[in-house]
Amino acid sequence: MNLGAHNKNERHLTEKLSTSGFRFTPQRQSVYDVIMHKRDHPTAEEVFIRAKKQMPEISHATVYNCLDALVKSGLIRQVQLERGATRFCPNMEEHCHYHCGACGKVFDMALPKNFTDMPQPKGFKADHYDIAVHGLCADCAGKRKN
Amino acid sequence: MNLGAHNKNERHLTEKLSTSGFRFTPQRQSVYDVIMHKRDHPTAEEVFIRAKKQMPEISHATVYNCLDALVKSGLIRQVQLERGATRFCPNMEEHCHYHCGACGKVFDMALPKNFTDMPQPKGFKADHYDIAVHGLCADCAGKRKN
DNA sequence: GTGCCTCTTTAGAACTATTCTAAATCTTGA
DNA sequence: TCAAGATTTAGAATAGTTCTAAAGAGGCAC
């Protein structure tokens, strides 16, 4: 493992957490690592399972607490693609989620620069955008046709 | 009440339902009416409460069943704006939801014609778009400043 | 360094939204 | 009219999340 990168990552985490009034903890590090490592939009439950491998004593409630702290610190995003579990995403750029309704996979795509040029309700103060496209990924669309 | 419009509405409902293999029922009519009438993106629970006024014996499970049938028939949309309850929307045009994080209100805005011109994953077959902007509505943004 | 205050973690209970189940009822078509 | 299938109902079950209370850890004042 690249120790330099790891330390930089940890400094970034500590700094962002403390700016939002949170402490650095090994549990938060662990949850953050899980999400940064396999960037597949896991649910809280999936994060819990993966975090347990590194830190077997971590609890369910802690994972929720950590995810919440990371979201509030602007380190990860939460996305609500369908009924059911919230998913978490390490990509903080404005982007669009392509969600396959058959296999559940999620694909990130960058958005064109001007995409936020849409009419707004008068006086609305926009904070963040959630853009999702639901449909079938190439693999699943192929299977359906056959 | 305009009986002509009501009948047209009912014909539309019956036709759309049967095209998707569902029967017309008074419960489905009632749930549909609730959503068409006060177009404020209610949750299933809110729909239940309002439908009960017209039809006191309607059950929770039936409301979910009806909402599901209406969504599958393309008569309403379901939107997932945040953690928690799904909301339902009678606006079938492609539009964007402006969601106020303080008061919970949702504002529909039409989308520019070319908004779907965004890069897609290769071979992705898009079915529908969910575009949400989270922030503060004019009223709530004003209150925060003071 | 010690003590105190606050933040964090933990296990488990509680809660909310939704789905499932089984029985009763209604519709439709033969 | 009857049978088959769809729908409704109340209530149980489930999934995802939040809450609670107690224990543990970190940091600051003294």
Q: How confident is the model at residue A16 (pLDDT cuts 50, 70, 90)?
A: very high
Interacting residues of B137 by C-beta distance below 8 A, sequence separation 6+: A121, A123, A124, B98, B100, B102, B103, B105, B107
pLDDT score of A136: 94
* Domains of chain A by residue range: 3-87, 93-145
Report the distance separating Cα B119 and Cα A110, nearest Å: 8
Q: What are the pLDDT digits (tens) for A52-63?
A: 999 999 999 999
Give the distance from residue B142's alpha carbon to the nearest chain A alpha carbon, in angstroms: 9
Q: What are the pLDDT digits (tens) for B74-119?
A: 999 999 999 999 999 999 999 999 999 988 999 999 988 777 778 8
Please determine, for residue A1, whether its predicted confidence score (pLDDT) is greater than 70. no
Give the distance from residue B4's alpha carbon to the nearest chain A alpha carbon, in angstroms: 33
Q: What are the pLDDT digits (tens) for B3-16?
A: 445 667 788 999 99
Q: How confident is the model at residue A6 (pLDDT cuts 50, 70, 90)?
A: low
Common-topology check for domains A3-87 and A93-145? no
Which class is domain B3-87? mainly alpha
What is the C-alpha radius of gyration for chain A, rounded to an integer number of angstroms?
17
Cβ-Cβ contacts under 8 Å, B83 against chain A: 78, 80, 86
Specify the 3-state DSSP secondary structure of B123. coil
Specify the 3-state DSSP secondary structure of A83. coil
CB contact under 8 A, B98 and A124: yes
Pull the structure tokens for residue A16. 């962002």
Closest nucleotide to B64 by C1' from CA: C18
Pull the structure tokens for residue B83. 């953690």
Q: What are the pLDDT digits (tens) for B33-65?
A: 999 999 999 999 999 999 999 999 999 999 999
Please determine, for residue A38, whether its predicted confidence score (pLDDT) is greater than 50. yes
Kindly give the interhelix angle for A44-54 and A26-37, rounded to the nearest 10 degrees.
Answer: 110
- Give distance CA A77 / C1' C12 (Å): 28
Cβ-Cβ contacts under 8 Å, A110 against chain B: 119
Please state, rounded to an integer, the average pLDDT across all residues of chain A: 90
Homologous superfamily of A93-145: Ferric-uptake regulator, C-terminal dimerisarion domain (3.30.1490.190)
Candidate from B109, B111, B126 with C-beta closest to A135 = B126
Q: How many helices (H) and strands (E) does chain A have?
A: 5, 5
Pull the structure tokens for residue A60. 């369910």
Is A35:A76 a contact under the CB 8 Å cutoff? Answer: yes
Nearest CA in chain B to A125: B136
Please determine, for residue B1, whether its predicted confidence score (pLDDT) is greater than 70. no
